[in-house]
Amino acid sequence: MSKFQGRHFLQIPGPSPVPDRVLRAMDMPVIDHRSAEFAELGKEVLAGSQKIFQTKNPVIIFPSSGTGAWEAAIVNTLSPGDKVLMVETGHFATLWQKMARRFGIEVEFLSTDWRHGAEPAAIEAKLAADKSHSFKAVMVVHNETSTGVTSRIAEIRKAIDAAKHPALFLVDTISSLGSAEYRHDEWGVDVTVSCSQKGFMLPPGLGFNAISDKAREAAKTNKMPRSYWDWEEMLKPNEGGFFPYTPATNLLYGLKEAVAMLLEEGLDNVFARHKRLAAATRAAVTHWGLEVLCLEPSEYSPVLTAVLMPPGHDADNFRKVVLENYNMSLGAGLSKVAGKVFRIGHLGECNDLTLMGALTGVEMGLSVAGVPHRAGGVNAAMELLEERNATNTPGHLKVVKN
């Protein structure tokens, strides 16, 4: 029996908590995936996904984790021996880079200090110098989940255009889609990679590729062997609402509900809510006297906040104290920042009171773990939430005066 009453606080930056509405929607008998009934569901979720990616082009849904969707993006657009430009924004960019190398891709990997996003000017300079157009793609992680830094995708698109470079633009939105502002078509992205367990508020198990016409054309001539991940194999049956192999039927029921929830709230309101919760989190962190890992205000993540531990204090020990005392999971520091940072997820099914609960757990944990801090961070967050509620909070978060 659990020693805790009440619910577990899952405040990691994904998988994020699954709303009751989505859980109930998935609680269905499995249906025949070759039936007319399934085709209706298939068509609905494929069209619904396009709205979340903000694209008129096809979105492909794989039964996979985000890593599978990364692989699909590579094997459909690139050939062994191709050169790509990537930026080491953190742990996940590093993993995607390793994967590309395994497929025989030559990667030029621009480094950062893991406290800044991909720099549009640096990308422009590299591409402008590449007169022979040897770079076949620019690959960037939008929201680097290991650091809480969000790269400026629209500006990177402008940088590619300013360099007049034909490289494809591949973007990982695994932890940003449905939480941080993202526009596949408007921002001229060729492949957007995503997954189910973060902004979509679903359990893990779906991987997505949104693709441009240019990416689809590249897939017709590229030389990478593939089968399971082949876009054209998917796109043909998708036209009728079907899949070439057994889809994750019940996750698709959940996807239908999650898309409905995001659209009911309105994507702009969803983005504003995440930004506001992130700002409140930073207000608490700053008040505690701790440091936010992200150093560039225009790159603060709306999805999560990575917090640096004071020297001499281990972030994993702190997380353990919080879990054991308050039944809350916080995100671990990964690879280069392991033990040095902890991450507070504020994405998906998260509102003012959920966040206040989470921040209270962090503040109490800091006391119990003996981490030096200034008490009252929770109040600082509360003040920020109250202030913005009274002025410019969108949708259901507005304070209604009777």
Ligand X SMILES: Cc1ncc(COP(=O)(O)O)c(C=O)c1O
Residues near ligand X (CB under 6 A):
14, 65-67, 92, 141, 145, 172, 174-175, 195, 204
In angstroms, give the least distance from the CB of 278 to ligand X: 16
In angstroms, give the least distance from the CB of 79 to ligand X: 23
DSSP β-bridge partners for residue 166: none
Tokens of 182: 């993202």
Residue 13 is given by DSSP the state: S
Q: Which residue is nearest to ligand X (CB)?
A: 66
In angstroms, give the least distance from the CB of 15 to ligand X: 8
Q: Which is nearer to ligand X, 73 or 292 (CB)?
A: 73
d(CA 143, CA 336): 17
Short-list 359, 361, 358, CA closest to 379: 359
Judge whether 108 and 142 are in contact, CB under 8 Å. Answer: no
Interacting residues of 335 by C-beta distance below 8 A, sequence separation 6+: 91, 94, 146
d(CA 152, CA 154): 6
Q: Which is nearer to ligand X, 45 or 139 (CB)?
A: 139
Q: Which is nearer to ligand X, 333 or 377 (CB)?
A: 333
Q: Which is nearer to ligand X, 77 or 143 (CB)?
A: 143
- Own/partner contacts of 293-297, CB < 8 Å, gap of 24 or more, are 293/114, 293/115, 293/147, 293/148, 293/149, 293/337, 293/341, 294/115, 294/116, 294/147, 294/148, 294/149, 295/113, 295/115, 295/116, 296/115, 296/116, 296/117, 296/149
In angstroms, give the least distance from the CB of 74 to ligand X: 13
Q: Which is nearer to ligand X, 89 or 281 (CB)?
A: 89
d(CA 15, CA 348): 10
The angle formed by the CA atoms of residues 98, 342 and 355, to the nearest 5 degrees, is 120
Q: Which is nearer to ligand X, 172 or 352 (CB)?
A: 172
- Count other C-beta atoms under 10 Å from residue 141's C-beta: 35
In angstroms, give the least distance from the CB of 147 to ligand X: 10
In angstroms, give the least distance from the CB of 176 to ligand X: 8
Q: Which is nearer to ligand X, 15 or 58 (CB)?
A: 15
d(CA 255, CA 133): 39
In angstroms, give the least distance from the CB of 152 to ligand X: 16
Q: Which is nearer to ligand X, 206 or 307 (CB)?
A: 206
In angstroms, give the least distance from the CB of 16 to ligand X: 11
